[in-house]
Structure 1
Amino acid sequence: MDKLRTLEIFLATCDGGSFSAAARLCGSDPSTVSKAVSRLEVELGLTLFQRSTRQLRITTAGERYARTVRKAMQDLSSCENELKQLNDSPSGILRISSAVCYAHLYLQPLLNEFCQCYPDIKLELEVNDLHVDIVENNVDIALRTGFIKDSRLVARRLSPMDFLTCVSPIYLSAYGMPSCSEDFKTHSWIGFRIKQSQQLQPIFLPDKKGEYQFVDLERRYITDDGETMAYMCTDGLGFAQLPHFLAKKGLDCGELVSLYPYYRPPQPDNGVFAIYPKREYLPKKVRVFIDFLTEKLAERGESSHCTWAEEWPALVG
């Protein structure tokens, strides 16, 4: 029998004045209660109750021990209730770690509204492209493109990551429209270097059947910052294959056009994910943040299985 249960039986015996009364209070039987109290006395090396055939009387040591146990049980109950209340109400510090581009382009414009909706939540926002150990670093939720498989974590996909082959009208007016993938070899490309692996993001272009294939193209310009890549493309330095969240601003204002329909990598870790520690009871502050972000993404035409890029018109169908 565990110690906490034994202490509950001990206090019930104090309150009931007999093993039979304690048994009724604890939903047990007198024999089990008597044995539990006897084991506790052996463990402590103390006599907690004086027994006779007619009555059970608590000793001085028993009274002192009962006061301490009762206070400890009350403190434990108070702590549990407080923690439950914190878990069930959207309050406290919410620590978010987000990929840089996603934070700047998608998350930052939503922060004021979220804080207005949940004034009892205090945000701590860390913006970087490193896959930090969110358990070790006490992060409540991380927003990442892709995820690292970890049994301690839950990875919930917010949206796929769709790529659009973008170019500025400025560039097209100066250098013309390529007619096939071979033509791209004579055009300027902007490449993205992945920080973690130092590899260049591969480029996929549609073949004559419209099926995307890997194409080995020379990059005239290379950067490891997504927003810089998008700005370079907008400024007319060349073509770039941009994730949908990087392409959206330029496409919406007409500074960029999409040459082909979207491309979605088939890998299971493709997408934008909300990653958080696995736990039985997810704190309310985390739940409301995920729900809020999911709702705002839906207003943009994004969900776990689609993005607005599916409907975006391409210059070449």
Structure 2
Amino acid sequence: MDKLRSLEIFIATCDGGSFAAAARLCGSDPSTVSKAIGRLEAQLGLTLFQRSTRQLRITAAGERYASTVRKMMQDLSGCEEELKQINRSPSGTLRISSAVCYGHLYLRPLLRAFCLQYPDIRLELEINDLHVDIIDNDIDVALRTGYVKDSRLVARRLSPMDFLVCASPRYLEACGIPRRREDFHSHSWIGFRIKETQQLQPIFLPDETGEYQPYELERRYLTDDGEAMAYMCADGLGFAQLPHFLAKDGLDSGALVSLYPYYRPPEPGSGVFAIYPKRDYLPAKVRVFIDFLTDALAARGEDANHTWAESWEPMEAVW
């Protein structure tokens, strides 16, 4: 029997005045109560109750011990209630780490509305593309394109990550529209270099059947910054295969056009994920943030299995 349970039985015995009354209060039986008090006395090396066939009387040592135990139990109960209240009420500091492009383009525009809705939450926002250890760095939730396999973490997919082959109308007017995949060899291409691995992001183009296949093309321009890639594309430097969250503003404004239907990587780890430490009770501040972000994405046509790119019409069929 654990020490806390023994202390609960001890206080119940003090209040009830007998082992039988304590057993009723604790949902146990007199024999179990008697043994628990005996073990507690053995651990302390003290007699807590004077026993006789007719009555049970607490000793001076027992009274002093009971006073301390009651205070301890009250402090523990108060602390537990306070923590429960904190978990129920969205408050405190919420530390968010976000991938750079997603943080700038999708997350940042939502923060004011979130802060107005939850004024007791104080935000700390980190923007970087490094896959840092969330637990060691005391991060409440990370937004990442792709998730890290870690049994200590929960990875909740916010949306797939869809890619679109984009160019600016200015570039197409000057250089022409490719009619076949092979035509891309005579066009400029903007490539993306992944910072952590220094590898180039592969390019996927549809074959004659419309199925996407990896396609090797020379990248005339390279960058390790997603927003720079989108701006370079909009400025007319060439084609780029952009994730949907990078392409959206340019497509909406007409600064970019897409040539093909969206491409979605088949890997289960592909997508945008909210990643947070695994725990029995998710803090309210984390729960309301993820719910808020999920609702905001739904308003723009995105959920765990869909993005707005599914319904975006390409400029024209190019094969």
TM-score (norm 2): 0.98
Aligned residue in 1 for 2:213: 213
Aligned residue in 1 for 2:309: 309
**Deviation per residue, 1:155-175 (Å, 9 max, x gap):** 111100000000011111111
**Deviation per residue, 1:121-159 (Å, 9 max, x gap):** 111111111111111111111100000111111111110
In 1, distance between residues paired with 2:22 and 2:307? 62
2:249 counterpart SS class: helix
In 1, distance between residues paired with 2:196 and 2:70? 54
In 1, distance between residues paired with 2:36 and 2:208? 80
Aligned residue in 1 for 2:83: 83
Aligned residue in 1 for 2:292: 292
Aligned residue in 2 for 1:13: 13
AA at the equivalent of 2:149:
K
In 1, distance between residues paired with 2:311 and 2:288? 29
In 2, distance between residues paired with 1:74 and 1:193? 59
In 2, distance between residues paired with 1:196 and 1:175? 34
Aligned residue in 2 for 1:185: 185
2:97 counterpart SS class: strand
Map 1:163-178 onto structure 2 (within 5 A): 163-178=163-178
Aligned Cα RMSD in Å?
0.8
* 1:29 Cα offset (Å): 1.1
In 1, distance between residues paired with 2:253 and 2:155? 33
* 1:286 Cα offset (Å): 1.1
In 2, distance between residues paired with 1:218 and 1:108? 34
AA at the equivalent of 2:144:
R
- Report the count of equivalent residues: 317
AA at the equivalent of 2:106:
Y
In 2, distance between residues paired with 1:51 and 1:207? 90
**Deviation per residue, 1:249-284 (Å, 9 max, x gap):** 111110100011100000001100011111111111
2:247 counterpart SS class: helix
Aligned residue in 2 for 1:106: 106
AA at the equivalent of 2:5:
R
In 1, distance between residues paired with 2:189 and 2:65? 78
In 2, distance between residues paired with 1:316 and 1:263? 16
2:9 counterpart SS class: helix
Identity, % of aligned pairs? 77
In 1, distance between residues paired with 2:85 and 2:236? 55
Map 1:122-271 onto structure 2 (within 5 A): 122-271=122-271
Aligned residue in 1 for 2:66: 66
Aligned residue in 2 for 1:38: 38
* 1:219 Cα offset (Å): 0.5
In 2, distance between residues paired with 1:20 and 1:183? 91
* 1:315 Cα offset (Å): 2.0
**Deviation per residue, 1:26-77 (Å, 9 max, x gap):** 1111111111000000011111111112211111111111111111111111
* 1:312 Cα offset (Å): 0.9
1:110 counterpart SS class: helix
* 1:316 Cα offset (Å): 2.9
* 1:224 Cα offset (Å): 0.7
AA at the equivalent of 1:130:
L
1:67 counterpart SS class: helix
**Deviation per residue, 1:174-224 (Å, 9 max, x gap):** 111111111111111111011121110000001111111100111111111
In 2, distance between residues paired with 1:32 and 1:112? 58
2:50 counterpart SS class: strand
AA at the equivalent of 1:99:
A
In 2, distance between residues paired with 1:106 and 1:66? 57
Aligned residue in 2 for 1:93: 93
TM-score (norm 1): 0.98
AA at the equivalent of 2:230:
A
In 2, distance between residues paired with 1:254 and 1:203? 23
1:249 counterpart SS class: helix
AA at the equivalent of 1:244:
H
2:8 counterpart SS class: helix
In 1, distance between residues paired with 2:138 and 2:83? 17
In 2, distance between residues paired with 1:109 and 1:179? 38
